[in-house]
């Protein structure tokens, strides 16, 4: 049975489990686009924390694109799956060729989602990484590794739903995992939602604009 009406409902309910991070100057909420953005928006709003997107692109092995040899992410970070690279004897030139192609798509998405704004600073901050759920967790794992490369104080993975096995894996990878529901058996992320329509680029843009507006109002209030 569905647990949440939609992603916004999931975000509001997940925010209740993150209330200890409210009103802290060091907290930054990072959303994995696209589905993680509506969830993260509600969390950022509830915690009075800034919101940014964190775009991750898988680097697929040539000829086996479903097999990840690494990933690139916002901030110019590249993470490699050394076991795959070594086992398949993948050259640096091959990695760079695939990475260059994916960088173009990553840059396009960042421009679409963030406009001309620079990414918010990660170093030294408590990062709450948000998606709408975890099935295999591959994208989130790459995100955690990429965020670590930028020296945060703490990395928290926050999702409305995930399988118990995947949550157990992330408890070893992240500093903390906050997952509101772990259905058993776990069939799919979308099974936890009544409405699970694909989030569009336009919706991501709207959420980011609303987040900046709220943040701007809070900054004005703080100066008064």
CATH number where 194 lies = 3.40.50.2020
At 220, the pLDDT band (50, 70, 90 cuts) reads low
Let me know: does 201 contact 112? Beta carbons within 8 Å.
Answer: yes
Alpha helices in the chain (DSSP H): 7-16, 36-47, 82-87, 92-114, 138-148, 164-173, 201-223
CA 114 to chain centre: 14
Do residues 85 and 172 share a domain? Answer: no
Do residues 82 and 167 share a domain? Answer: no
Determine the pLDDT at residue 125.
98
Do residues 154 and 199 share a domain? Answer: yes
Give the chain's radius of gyration (CA, Å): 17
Q: Taking 90 as the threshold, does the pLDDT of residue 74 lie above it?
A: no
Do residues 74 and 161 share a domain? Answer: no
Domain residues for the domain of 192 are 7-54+120-223
Residue 56 CA to residue 62 CA, distance in Å, equals 18
Do residues 152 and 200 share a domain? Answer: yes
Do residues 102 and 133 share a domain? Answer: no
Q: Taking 60 as the threshold, does the pLDDT of residue 223 lie above it?
A: no
Do residues 44 and 144 share a domain? Answer: yes
Instruction: Please report where in the chains the tokens 């990414």 appear, as a residue.
Output: 119
Do residues 208 and 148 share a domain? Answer: yes
Domain count, the chain: 2
- Per-residue pLDDT of 3-58, as tens digits, reads 999 999 999 999 999 999 999 999 999 999 999 999 999 999 999 999 999 999 88
Do residues 184 and 213 share a domain? Answer: yes
Asked if residue 2 is part of any domain, the answer here is no
- The whole-number average pLDDT for the span 91-99 is 94
At 103, the pLDDT band (50, 70, 90 cuts) reads very high
């Amino acid at each position: 049975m569905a647990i949440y009406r939609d992603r916004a409902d999931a975000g509001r309910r997940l925010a209740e489990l993150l209330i200890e991070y409210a009103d802290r100057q060091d907290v930054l909420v990072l959303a994995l686009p696209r589905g993680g953005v509506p969830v993260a928006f509600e969390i950022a709003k509830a915690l009075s924390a800034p919101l940014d997107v964190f775009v991750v692109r898988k680097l697929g092995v040539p000829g086996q694109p479903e097999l990840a040899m690494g990933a690139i992410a916002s901030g110019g970070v590249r993470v490699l799956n050394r076991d795959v690279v070594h086992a398949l004897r993948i050259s640096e030139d091959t990695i760079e060729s695939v990475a260059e192609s994916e960088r173009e798509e990553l840059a396009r998405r960042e421009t679409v989602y963030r406009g001309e704004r620079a990414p918010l600073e990660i170093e030294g901050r408590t990062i709450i990484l948000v998606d709408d759920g975890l099935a295999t967790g591959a994208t989130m794992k790459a995100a955690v590794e990429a965020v670590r490369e930028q020296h945060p104080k703490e990395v928290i993975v926050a999702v409305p739903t995930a399988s118990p096995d995947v949550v157990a894996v992330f408890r070893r990878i992240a500093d903390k995992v906050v997952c509101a529901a772990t259905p058993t058996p776990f069939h799919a992320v979308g099974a936890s939602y009544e409405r699970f329509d694909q989030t569009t680029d336009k919706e991501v843009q709207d959420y980011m604009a609303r987040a900046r507006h709220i943040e701007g109002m809070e900054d004005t209030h703080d100066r008064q």
